[in-house]
Chain A
Amino acid sequence: MLAIITTNLLRRSARTLFTALGIAVGVATIVALLSFTQGLKETAAGFVHLGGSELGVFQANVSDPTASLLPESLVGRLDARPEVAQATPLLLIVEGVKAESSAIVFGADPAGFFTHNLVLTGGRRPLAGGREVLVGDRLAAQLHLLPGALLLIEGHSYRVAGIYHAGILFEDSGAVLALTQAQQLTGRPAEVTDIVVQLSPGTRAKSAARSIERVFPGTQAITDPQQALRAGANSTLISKAILVIVMIALIVGAISVANTMAMSIMERQGEIALLSTVGWSPARVASLIFGEGVAVSVLGAGVGLLLGVIGGGLLVGALGVSTYVSPSVTAWGLGRGLLVGVAIGVLGGIYPAWRVTRMTPLKALSST
């Protein structure tokens, strides 16, 4: 049976190839998107633990965590909570560095743990009141910046006082400015994007988050990357869009396979009738047709997995977020791609296989 399936597919190699390619594109899209969202999750992990914090407090129900706005006065109230060891505010300036639009500038309290935890690899810390900035080592390498160089932020130039390494992608790809300067630059005095928190020893992050959200209504305390992704409406939108794309790929792929196999059946009525006349049961003939559909899909899925892995990198590049998001291919991501590919073959093969069982050999023979 397998030999006949292989022979039949090879006999119509161009059709097999194009059908498989169609499926491959669908599977590749799914794998690329899944690897992208996985990368996004991993990036979100860094975003949650900025400055070595255990949780981040954001404004609730914002489209994206970077769009959050909180009053700076909240820092002191948070700091006074028994479950909080330290709290420090951050004001994020997105797309503030024209030379590298994906770099984030962090407005941070020079006395807070966020700034203190930065390990200097060159230069010194900024002088109080000076128009100076610290630059992450990745950004410094990208823009060939050394201490003493000038960096334009929102059209204003700042001297690079030092280069740091934090070990967190977001931070190392960005720059750190004094909070007051960042607030002046953005015209948001006394406002911050989020407040990062280090917890008191023995405090569980989840219970602390619940407690903070209860005491400070309108805030959300994020403790893990999954939660960060769910918190932003944009991230939710991405997850739902991926689900829709998966469903569309499945439906279009299944229709494509069903159509190709149905055409193939029309052309092969004589052959199929012959199989019936020589004693093949309808179930066996149907399984031959079904097997051909599944085989094309598995072939397409295999190629699709490969294209998807390559496509994930291309997608990140095309979206201009390669600084933050590295596509992450997981076994489960590949498994889901393969599953969709096989499902396309199974769903697309059912109708043609059923049609075969309805054909009468005499009618088919007389039409050949």
Chain B
Amino acid sequence: MKRIENRYVLALIYLILTAYAIFSVVPFFWTAIQSFKTPRQANSRVPLFIFEPTLDNYSDLWLKAIPDDPVFAAIVLVAIFGLLVAVSLNARRFPLPRGLVYMAVLAAGFAVLWSIPGYIRTQTFYDYFLNTIIVTVGTICISISIGCMAGYGLARYSGIMGVVILVVALGFRSLPGMAYILPYWWFGQRSGLYDTHFLLIITLVAINQPFTIWMLRSFFMNIPKEIEESAMVDGANRLTAFIRVIIPIMWPGIISTALFTMLLAYSDFLLVRILTQSNWTLTVAISKYAAGEDPGHITLAAAAAVSAAVPIIIVVFIFQSQLVKGLTSGAVKG
């Protein structure tokens, strides 16, 4: 559409957009501020904007006891993770396959995260954080592996059953989750899987599977058939062609889908709330801060909210373009 040239109208447009942007981010801004206050400051009659920030809420949330030398511990941790990031950014310079380097970095990262409680006395909140990582990573790995095969099959098969499976799966995905979760709870109780990571991962995979196959299918459809056909002429069978030829060019699509799977698994609340008793993930742990009698709960809740939001915001900002692409690709075509 031709741009508006009237300066006043344009100014008005910017004004409205900025107002809406402020509306969108003000809760983040305010919660972040509250999380650095003492309970007294946070409850003051007139909101304080200038105050001496304190890290007490974060240390109360994450640590049982502050380590003897907190600065040293922080430096060591930052150094280790800085090194891991540096290695993964320079993965192509190593004389090893890149996938191997990433996997090694990931394994080392997990090893460090799991060994921290051995050195620093952490709160249960840290355990919930580790649970979240296990469940999210497990869900992504299984969901994407089986979803890629299904998405590829659906993209290449022209029979009517393909469409039927897609539409029925979409229908099941659109139902309220409660209809599955109560039976899951019952299965869990009967089989003894209640409160295990395994049950969480497998049910999250199932619930997100329809979405995963739809999204991956749309990415596979953009890959021309000729590519795998030429590989098959050269003697590869379809499975080999799929693994050796198609998957390597699918990475952008896989990353997009994995990103959405991550958001869904990380933020799931109802399912985890019902299927766990003590092995909570962060979302369930945080909901416990929603209500409280003592005045300290506001700042603690703020610190918990910021702690859970930061990892997601970092990941999303790194992959922003994939996110917007994924959000709109399915929609605009349909």
Are A and B co-members of a single complex?
no
Residues of B within 8 A of A (CB): none
Residues of A within 8 A of B (CB): none
